[in-house]
Amino acid sequence: MMELEKYFQKNDDAFYINDYGEKKFRGVRKFYGDTVRNDKAREQSMLPPIQICNVFSYVNEFIELLRTANGYCEKNVRFEPFVLDNTIHTIKDNGILTKELKWDAPIYDCKKQKYVKWDYKYDVIKNKFNLCKPSDIVWIKFTTKGHVGVVAKSFDINFDGKTSDGQPISSTVLVEEVGEAWDKSFVMIFPMTSEILGNRSVGDLELGIGNYLIDKKVPIIDFYSHNN
């Protein structure tokens, strides 16, 4: 269990200290000359990508370590079809491989300070895996060159490059900056069930999965995103 804890430590390089002494997550738009995330993306893009099937296996491997630590000794072996948007996708062990789907960006209400609308497919996943919330997922998108583009959480998968309020998505900025593009043909989704989470949050698992992939030498274009 102690060995697992190292994957839940945030990378200090993902943050900076502002003029008020506050610790802030780095951006990607080079304000005040800060290019740390951009430089790291360029570095990662120069590394050979890891096969997609290996990335999927690494995440499942990490999840099984967590399930074992949470008291579930029997490995979750699963292979079955899963219907989303009237097309068949695949559940493999602890993850879903979705193919050729369009994902609508969720809508956030600033006054209510919460999301008020999201793609119905997240509710289908929630019901299938008995999740507490439809946002209880960690997902991974890849580039057309085969690189992991980003490890992220919640119900905001989309390939449009902008949020519902028109703000640029950081991972898209970095992917395009290094001369790559999103592979829109598939997304890996890992539902965060109670067996996986234990007493951790979905954000903890986003961090852990990202760090585990880095430990396995998997290049990630948006290298620091899972620390936020």
The mean per-residue pLDDT over the stretch 102-128 comes to: 92
- Band (160; pLDDT cuts 50, 70, 90): confident
Res 110: pLDDT: 86
Q: Is the pLDDT of residue 2 over 60?
A: no
Res 105: pLDDT: 86
Res 129: pLDDT: 98
C-alpha torsion angle, residues 158, 104, 156, 58 (rounded to 10): -60
Look-up: residue for tokens 């690189």? 147
- Band (32; pLDDT cuts 50, 70, 90): confident
Q: Is the pLDDT of residue 1 over 60?
A: no
- Contact between 190 and 138 (Cβ < 8 Å): yes
Considering the domain boundaries, does residue 4 fall inside one?
Answer: no
Considering the domain boundaries, does residue 7 fall inside one?
Answer: no
Give the Cα separation of 8 and 153 in Å (integer).
15
Considering the domain boundaries, does residue 1 fall inside one?
Answer: no
Structural domain harbouring 121: 13-227
Q: State how many domains the chain has.
A: 1
How many CB atoms within 10 Å of residue 73? 6
Residue type at 36?
A: V
Give 106 or 62, the one with higher predicted confidence: 62
Considering the domain boundaries, does residue 132 fall inside one?
Answer: yes
